[in-house]
Structure formats: structure tokens, C-alpha cells
Structure 1
Amino acid sequence: MKAVFAVLIFAAVIIANSNAVDQVIGVITPTDSILAMTTVQQRFRLGQVVTATYVFTGASTTATVVGIRIRDRKPVRMSPTIAITGGALNSATITLTFTSQRSFGINSNVTVYGTP
């Protein structure tokens, strides 16, 4: 009985992780450093589209953002759209705007890569 329960829990974890969506903006190489890691969240509103903004400002003026990895914690059809609304890649600052699907919230892990 315990073995069956353990298999069911293992299968649920695999299914939950397989539904997550990874998006990469820019090019991330193995030599790039992680400049920031955060979670962007916004609660859903029934029948409405919600937005959330994430602003990254480098710790120094020499820091440059070369790539961003966004791991959404929702299935593909529920994932928000992401747009760069300020700054740019290869600069010290960048602003991302997340726009949800109607009646869904936002829950994404954001990792910024670059050179310090």
C-alpha cells in the first residue's frame, strides 16, 4: 500500500513539473552569472486580465543583462505573455511586463543572467 502511494506521489510531481513552461529571452551561456532570481506573482480576477511588472536594475553600472529565463508555474494555455517594456538586453536595466490570460493569475520564476 505504501509503495502504491509513493508511486502516485511521484507521478503527480512529474506531471506538475511537466506542465511548467520555460521561456528564454536572449542567449544564456554557461559562463554567464545569475544576477537576480525572483518570483513574480499576481492574483487572478474573475473575467479580467491582470498585469505585473518586474524591474531589474543592475548592482553596478558595468553589469549587463544578456539573458532572462522565465519559468511559468502554469500549463501552456494559462501562461502569461511577457514583453520587454523598458531597457534592453546588453544594458544594466530591464523592465518586463507580464500579462495574464483572462481569469488567470501570474506565478512565474524569473532568473536574470549576465556579467557582473
Structure 2
Amino acid sequence: MEEINWNDFEKVELRIGTILEAFDFPEARKPAIKVKVDFGEFGVKMSSAQITKHYTKEELVGRQIIAVINFPRKQIGKFMSEFLVTGFADENGDIVLSAVDKKVPNGSKLV
């Protein structure tokens, strides 16, 4: 494991956002869901996540997630991803979202 310093960590914009909408993403090579997320002062952004094993579109709406919002945009097929959804792989390799257990203001930074 490579160590980083505090300045390296501070460069990563890990922010909280609330999922406003979730959409099917049938064009994705691996099963995924598109999400539209409100990051407060950082705006509303779109991304996709391979989270179909543990979540339905309906249960995602209103949920707060932790995301990296300062990566460059990434083209995924015809879709442009604007942030990275964070999560952890379970024992089967399926993604479980990173989240908070109490509501915090959208755009808050992980410290």
C-alpha cells in the first residue's frame, strides 16, 4: 500500500449528494444505473454506477451518497459521467454504496 500525505488527500473532493433521479442504463457493458445527483453549491451532476445487485432505481431516489466530484468527465458509451460514485465490494464483488447515516447538507466535504 502506497502512503499519501495530507495534501494528497485534500485534493480529492469527496462530497455528499442526494440522488434526485435514477434511470436504466441498458447500453452499459456491465449492468448499471444512471443517477442524477444534487451536490448543493457544486450543482446537479450525472453519473452511472454498477449497483444493480443491491439497489433498485426507486430506492435510490432521495438517498445521500458520497462521490468524487473532481475527476475529469468520462465518456461511457454515449453517456458522459461527471463524478465517481463510491462504494465497497461485498463478498461477491457487488458494490454497496458509501453513505452517511444522518442527513448532511449537499456538497459537504468528507473530512
**TM-score normalised by L of structure 2:** 0.31
Which one has the bigger helix percentage? Answer: 1
Query: Which TM-score applies when normalising by structure 1?
Result: 0.30
Q: Which has the larger radius of gyration?
A: 1
Q: Which has the higher contact order (CA 8 A, sep 6+)?
A: 1
- Name the one with the larger strand percent: 1
